[in-house]
Amino acid sequence: MIVDFAFDETVAKVFPDMIRRSVPGYETIIALTGLLAEQYAQPDSLCYDLGCSLGAATLAMRRQIHQSGCRIIAVDNAEAMTSRCQQHIQEAGEGTAVDVICADIQDVIIENASVVVINFTLQFIEPTARLALLEKIYTGLRPGGALLVSEKIAFSSEAEQQRMDALHIAFKKANGYSDLEISQKRSALENILIPDTLEQHHERLHAAGFSSIDNWFRCINFVSLLAIR
Ligand code: GEK
């Protein structure tokens, strides 16, 4: 029986291992998220990690940000994630202050922000609601502030889609997943993870107000974009 994927206790327990084995480039994106955050963090501002899961990006930002008066707001709507995230931050000891909030990122106020990170989470938001979320982020960013968006992408060319899917499946098999596990995960995610093409991401970020948009990372069917207000 395939049920839709949920961010529950079972997923939270295996999450770090699952995301590393499924998302090519995940560790690089997380490490670079910290470095990018340090470049764009402004004194006395807020840095957001939207869809923080267990706090990997939050912890990377916390390690790298050295601006005075910064505070990180880490948000996820799965309690199984935020409770573990809170625990990881406590275990990490001294560093930039973090508020972990269990809420829908669509309901959270974004204000006085210099850095907003949304890593592999926009893809779970209802497609028609994505522009409004990016507009809210744009409005809440200070001039010169940065938005980092990492996503799984789709391709408008069917042939390219097939080539990238085949390579992604090979990546997951090389990381120990069986054909059955791969196809079950695909069915479970089908209705809840809806990827956009790179072109759709650029168009929507432009529509939200961002003028500078860089594709700073891509591996197979995963990208990370840096958009500056
Ligand atoms: C990482 N960024 O390790 N509001 C809040 N949280 C949400 C919502 C929503 N509307 N929808 C989904 N989530 C992390 C990885 S995982 C990616 C992010 C993945 C949360 C959901 O509970 C989950 O924790 C996270 O978004 C997506 O860099 O599992 O592929």
Identify the pLDDT of residue 3. 64
Question: How far does the centroid of ligand 1 lie from the alpha carbon of residue 78, in Å?
Answer: 8
Please tell me if the CB atom of residue 100 comes closer than 6 angstroms to any atom of ligand 1.
Answer: no
Name the residue among 90, 103, 12 with its Cα closest to residue 53. 12
% of the chain residues with pLDDT over 90: 83
Mean pLDDT of 111-130: 98
Q: Is the dihedral of CA 203, 162, 171, 20 positive or negative?
A: positive
Please provide residue 213's backbone torsions phi and psi, each rounded to the nearest 5 degrees. -135, 115
What is the position in ligand 1's atom list of the atom closest to the CA of 78? 22
Atom 23, ligand 1: which residue's CA is nearest? 53
Question: How far does the centroid of ligand 1 lie from the alpha carbon of residue 114, in Å?
Answer: 21
Band of pLDDT at residue 84, cut at 50, 70 and 90? very high
Query: pLDDT tens across 138-174, in order?
Result: 999 999 999 999 999 999 999 999 999 999 999 999 9
% of the chain residues with pLDDT over 70: 99
Please tell me if the CB atom of residue 79 comes closer than 6 angstroms to any atom of ligand 1.
Answer: no
The DSSP secondary-structure symbol of 195 reads P
Mutate to test the pocket of ligand 1, among 8, 14, 30, 53 (most ligand atoms within 8 A of CB): 53
Please tell me if the CB atom of residue 81 comes closer than 6 angstroms to any atom of ligand 1.
Answer: yes
Q: What is the mean pLDDT of the chain?
A: 94
Name the residue among 126, 134, 151 with its Cα closest to residue 48. 134
Please tell me if the CB atom of residue 138 comes closer than 6 angstroms to any atom of ligand 1.
Answer: no
Identify the pLDDT of residue 206. 98
95 vs 227, more confident: 227
Mean pLDDT of 198-212: 97
Question: How far does the centroid of ligand 1 lie from the alpha carbon of residue 9, in Å?
Answer: 14
37 vs 180, more confident: 37
183 vs 39, more confident: 39
Query: pLDDT tens across 172-192, in order?
Result: 999 999 998 888 888 888 888
Terminal-to-terminal C-alpha distance of the chain:
46
Chain centroid to Cα 68, Å, comes to: 25
* pLDDT reading at 2 higher than 50: yes
